[in-house]
Amino acid sequence: MKILTIAIPCYNSEAYMEKCIRSILPVGEAVEILIVDDGSTKDRTPQIADSYAANYPSIVRAVHQENGGHGEAVNAGLRNASGLYYKVVDSDDWVNTKALARIVRKMKELEADGGVDMLLANFVYDKVGAKHKKLMRFKNVFPEGEVFGWDRMRHMRETQYILMHNIFYRTQMLRDCGMELPKHTFYVDNIFAFQPFPHVEKLYYMDENLYHYFIGREDQSVNEQVMIGRIDQQIRVNKIMIDVMGRQDFVMKDPHLRKYMRIYLSKIMTVTSMMLILSGTQEAQEKKTEIWEYLKEHSPEDYRALRFGLLGIGVNLPGKAGRRISIAGYKIAQKFVGFN
């Protein structure tokens, strides 16, 4: 059995997918690479996937499916995974090969003692044109060299957050928790790094700068104008995350975890609200009101904490003047945090 399955969702990814694949291949037979061709039609993505599967049959498998969006490609990877652990690497990103090799060796050691539900590493914002790449490191948050629970998590700075990029899940745990990402929806990586967390009991952190998150292309889903155009998909993801928080029966098992999840939800609520403010239409303002009402209805405790917190107040200032202040604050935060 493979120790790790890495799924690479690909959609018309000919221009960059090989860099991603080649960053993983040298780790060798312990890793299974699933190249998920999500209905590519405009380039040679399917042929490239088949070529690697033919040349590296004991490591690479190609999965072809009708277009279902990024989330369905992640779902397909999970359905087909044979590794004990599961990771997603987007086709325009890549990994530090040596860091991945060390993580795989540690996974094998951990398995001797029963393994963990989630292993975490670091990731790098590889932003176009940026001279200094922002490193998202968690040495200040998680203990090193030991298996731990959420109660050992220390305070996470406002600029820190766990993303799909630095997560390795235990494959069976991910299946057992029933995670299935929505089709034809962008921004589902927020669900991937959120919904399974209450099912995670044993964690392990490695201070390895593993994942290079390429950001800054004009056509990327996290480009501001693209996000405004896809705002209904952002709202869909936001509501799913609210639904998770509303299930207090299991989220409340660990107050440390709930605190983190609430903070992360507040950031997603802020992003959703800001994209709607930037849209500048009456319809968008109504949608902003509706998403906050949805939070109030489905998770009243979180609504009170978020709506009257600093971010909640900042995106709900009244009138045109209030919206201008919100936008100005968002632009400052954008530079400070380093997103988009």
- Find the helix or strand (DSSP H, E) in which 4 lies: strand 4-10
3-state secondary structure of 15: coil
The CA-based diameter of the chain, rounded to the nearest angstrom, is 61
Q: Which two tokens stand for residue 165?
A: 């990029």
Query: Which residues span the domain enclosing 326?
Result: 224-337
Same domain, 48 and 177: yes
SS (HEC) of 124-192: EEEECCCCCCEEECCCCCCCCCCCECHHHCCCCCCCCCCCHHHEEEEHHHHHHCCCCCCCCCCCCHHHH
Same domain, 105 and 250: no
Same domain, 150 and 263: no
Same domain, 86 and 230: no
User: Of 215, 241, 261, which closes a domain?
Assistant: 215
Same domain, 151 and 37: yes
Same domain, 193 and 230: no
Contacts of 255 (CB under 8 A, 6+ apart): none
Q: Which two tokens stand for residue 127?
A: 């932003």
Predicted model pTM: 0.93
Same domain, 99 and 35: yes
User: Of 215, 235, 270, which closes a domain?
Assistant: 215
From first to last of its 340 residues, what are the pLDDT tens digits of the chain? 899 999 999 999 999 999 999 999 999 999 999 999 999 999 999 999 999 999 999 999 999 999 999 999 999 999 999 999 999 999 999 999 999 999 999 999 999 999 999 999 999 998 777 777 889 999 999 999 999 999 999 998 878 899 999 999 999 999 999 999 999 999 999 999 999 999 999 999 999 999 999 986 555 555 788 889 999 999 999 999 999 998 855 555 688 899 999 999 999 999 999 999 999 899 999 999 999 999 999 999 999 999 999 889 999 999 889 888 988 887 877 666 544 4
Kindly report, residue by residue over 137-150, the tens digit of the pLDDT: 999 999 999 999 99
The alpha carbon of residue 73 and the mean position of all alpha carbons in its chain are separated, in whole angstroms, by: 14
Same domain, 33 and 180: yes
User: Of 215, 243, 272, which closes a domain?
Assistant: 215
Same domain, 210 and 245: no
- Rounded to the nearest 10°, the torsion over CA 157, 163, 167, 172 is 120
- Find the helix or strand (DSSP H, E) in which 94 lies: strand 94-95
Same domain, 126 and 258: no
The alpha carbon of residue 81 and the mean position of all alpha carbons in its chain are separated, in whole angstroms, by: 19
CATH number where 46 lies: 3.90.550.10
Same domain, 45 and 136: yes
Same domain, 103 and 237: no
Cα–Cα distances (Å) from 230 to 66, 193, 226, 266, 307, in that order, read 21, 20, 6, 20, 24
* Cα separation, 3 vs 259, whole angstroms: 32
| Number of domains into which the chain is organized | 2
